[in-house]
Structure 1
Amino acid sequence: MTPELAARLVKAYDIRGLSPQELDEPAAHRIGTAFARLTGAREIAVARDMRDTSPGLAAAFTEGVREQGVAVVDAGLGSTDYLYFVSGRLGVPGAMFTASHNPAAYNGIKLCRAGAVPVGEGSGLELIRAALTEPAPPRGGLYGARREVALLDEYAAHLHGLVDLSALRPLRIVVDAGNGMAGLTVPLVLNQPQLTIVPMYFELDGTFPNHEADPLKPANVAALKERVRAEGADLGLAFDGDADRCFAVDERGEAVPASSVIALVAARLLADEPGAAVVHNLITSLGAVEVIEESGGKPVRSRVGHSFVKALMAEHQAVFGGEHSGHYYFRDFWFADTGMLAALHIIAELAASDGPLSRLVAGYRRYQSSGEVNVTVADPSAAVAAVERSLGDGGARVDHLDGLTASFPDGSWFNLRASNTEPVLRVNAEAGDAATLAALRDQVLAVLRAAEPAAG
């Protein structure tokens, strides 16, 4: 494989590309060999999603592992958080074959060490990338064994053990699985007598015939919102393709921001463990940070990205962590992300309240948010520097934890950070009212466009 293709395929947090054009079975075989040597483990767990290329890629990876004398635990079809469960439960490294929310033409691999510890840039993926451009090592002297396990019921039982579902009031919940792995896991986890589940697109289909399994795009949750209203449902839930992310819709068919979910779950967990740390990425709403503090927790600010959040959670033994992208991490789930556990907390909190979800989360929405605005630039570093210079001595507090963050005395702030994969700057801003937000956002965008004629 050429260094250019290896660099395109092995990203900062996982392996992902067009399949089979970029990620084919010989590449998966080579990655299996490299991962076996990287971990030095005696056994590695493998799971896969419903994409058409996943069985062949997983089988090729398995052969690469076994040829190094390492055994394979074949966990079969499952969500990414199921693979994390298997890794944590058995104490073995794992590989999940999925391209998450990407379209059907893609596939990928998410890797973790024993106990669901992430493998990313700086913790092993750079070695996998290098291995793809080098000659394959010789086969080991022994051929590793392969055994199949079926742990989905144990996965569901583990989640049930973390959230008290004994006092649920009747709730009607519409769930959009997006033809992804939630179609397999939701019936196991949400099979409760007081819950009426209205399924949407539960058929496992890696061609995604109804919509992309990416709930971050508004078009992909439009049908869910409409169905929630039509059913008179209490809640709507949408999952991405590998079902490790969860998105909520209230009874009016309005999206519940991830920051509100972070606030809700943090408050629940801190009620049982006041003083515990909660990790949030730096573009989480200030309202969620305030709720963490008001609930007696210690907010810990992180860079964007699961490897950074998980590392800080382990360092601080944080009870919970959350990101704006719908990733929610739990100490009692090996610090790994699981959208299904977040969904259980939302359901339990809603069931314990005497009102609708919109009222329950209203107190968490304290600021106006721009959402993420992407601006294409020719030179991201120069554009960020121009924005920082434009701040002058206007009283902004600036830091560079992840790109450029500027916070102002009135509580408003913006963050400007570069994409890992394309010449794009991501702008997020927040303020106490819509007019202040619009002025702040437009100020940043005007500087970017003046500094970068190629911006668009």
Structure 2
Amino acid sequence: MPVDPDVLHAIVKAYDVRGLVGEQLDAPLARALGAATAHVLLPDGGRLVVGHDMRPSSPSLAHAFTDGATARGVDVVDIGLASTDQLYFASGILDAAGAMFTASHNPAGYNGLKLCRPGAVPVAIDTGLGDIRDLAPTVDDLPPAERAGQRSEQDLTDRFAAHVRSFVDLDALGAVRVAVDAGNGMAGHVWPAVVEGLPFETTPLFFALDGSFPNHPANPLEPENLRDLQAAVVAGDHAVGLAFDGDADRVFAVDERGRPVSSSLIGAVVADRLLARHPGATVLYNLICSDTVPETIEAAGGRAVRTRVGHSFIKRRMAETDAIFAVEHSGHYYFRDNFRADSGMIAALVLLEAVADAGAPLSEVVAPYDRYAASGERNYAVADQAGALERVAAAFADRGSVDTEDGLTVVTDRGWFNLRPSNTEPLLRLNVEAADEQGMAALRDEVAELVH
């Protein structure tokens, strides 16, 4: 059955592929994507490492993708069940292109595909993904490959766990009582291997791998999906609670009272610790992070560099600046010594190291960094996004500095805000920060009224 180009245009996004299983994403399409990926990313042959998450459709989609890739003469290393950061690690140590079948935090009916070049170099719509999308419908018209590629299997879980542990001082680790909500996602597979033998007492929530997500969606960005973790942390006298998304490349935290801790504060803690080990190094932060992040970097003697939102921009800028670390407001944390890829597991372990060193619960660890009031990300469905941005820009033209690097960022004497179009949805996203709640709310409401 031929692949429908319209379907491909619907499911290929800025950074990855996401679609409804059966209706949009099926085995024939996965096979075509595998062949197109091999042709675009590895035109002269080579290796492609393939992993998949726990969704029921993931193994069959990964198998079809592998068939397509090997038919184009590419050898495939199948690492089986994996988190996305484990796939990036495999791409790095094997120097192979990578393909991860996952829909991350999306509902159970979805699946998707994340791709990278050898060394975990990202693939986005303008760096290969668009070419793969356009080639897939006609890939069978290509001349046949001179040889068929071979498929092999390799379990890298233990090597990945050892790699994650290399980011902390194992000999100095103290005991921490932590609750971990895997959301029936891949953290349930990876976390036990990472913390085996460490002095952490883990209370596991929903570690059984189940892509139907019977307990709650594996999307910790939504407050209702943190409620089980919050209750467990408070009831069990834990110092910290951690929640991972479905493919475990993002981590979120709650303190000992069950209160969510922003990704900016977690990023500031991690940056502080890494700069103590790499004095004077560069650390990146995206333009929606709290001001506490660049302030922390500079106070620790580092060089703070602001970036656009989006993993492909961040990874590219890390390579340009040799940054040791990067913080993204959405719970992604990038590490130079992790092939510049993001890893929820590494960030979580460094955070637990900070809690252990402090001998105090998470609220006390983050208190020195908690200086501002933030709105969190607010989303607005707006038909005329460009018109709304122009309207807001005009209203604030004489009231502060204006930056249009990624949407609209305005710094006023009351605080700052960023208003930008989503890369993946027809929305404008608003983030506001000020010195106190009253100032933040006033600025937030003024911008929101102008947007509408």
TM-score range, shorter chain: over 0.9
| Alignment partner of 1:76 out of 76, 80, 98 | 80
Partner residue in 2 for 1:39: 41
C-alpha separation between the residues in 1 aligned to 2:54 and 2:153?
18
C-alpha separation between the residues in 2 aligned to 1:368 and 1:160?
34
| Alignment partner of 2:241 out of 228, 231, 236 | 236
Report 1:16-415 matches (<5 A).
Answer: 16-40=18-42, 41-136=45-140, 137-394=142-399, 396-410=400-414, 412-415=415-418
Aligned AA for 2:418? N
Tell me the number of residue pairs that the alignment of Structure 1 and Structure 2 aligns.
447
Deviation at 1:204, TM superposition (A): 0.4
Note the alpha carbon deviations across 1:375-396, whole angstroms, 9 max, x for none.
11111011110111111422x1
TM-score for the superposition, normalised by structure 1 = 0.96
Partner residue in 2 for 1:419: 422
**TM-aligned CA distance change 1:392 to 1:70, over 3 Å:** closer
Q: Does 1:15 align with 2:14?
A: no
Higher mean alpha-carbon deviation, 164-173 vs 362-371, is at 164-173
TM-score for the superposition, normalised by structure 2 = 0.97
Deviation at 1:361, TM superposition (A): 0.2
C-alpha separation between the residues in 1 aligned to 2:174 and 2:425?
47
Deviation at 1:59, TM superposition (A): 0.5
Aligned-partner SS, 1:132:
helix
Aligned AA for 1:54? S
C-alpha separation between the residues in 2 aligned to 1:389 and 1:277?
35
Aligned AA for 2:18? R
Partner residue in 2 for 1:454: none
Deviation at 1:135, TM superposition (A): 5.0
Deviation at 1:301, TM superposition (A): 0.8
Contact conserved, 2:55 with 2:108, CA < 8 A, in 1? yes
Contact conserved, 2:36 with 2:139, CA < 8 A, in 1? no
Aligned AA for 1:369? A
Deviation at 1:310, TM superposition (A): 0.7
Contact conserved, 2:324 with 2:335, CA < 8 A, in 1? yes
Aligned-partner SS, 2:203:
strand
Aligned AA for 1:446? E
Aligned-partner SS, 1:124:
helix
Contact conserved, 2:178 with 2:238, CA < 8 A, in 1? yes
Contact conserved, 2:220 with 2:244, CA < 8 A, in 1? yes
Aligned-partner SS, 1:436:
helix
**TM-aligned CA distance change 1:315 to 1:193, over 3 Å:** closer
Deviation at 1:163, TM superposition (A): 1.2
Deviation at 1:177, TM superposition (A): 0.5
Deviation at 1:7, TM superposition (A): 1.6
Deviation at 1:193, TM superposition (A): 4.4
Alignment RMSD, CA only? 1.1
Aligned AA for 1:375? Y
Partner residue in 2 for 1:452: none
C-alpha separation between the residues in 2 aligned to 1:390 and 1:91?
50
Q: Does 1:442 align with 2:413?
A: no
The sequence identity of aligned pairs, in percent, is: 52
Aligned AA for 2:14? A
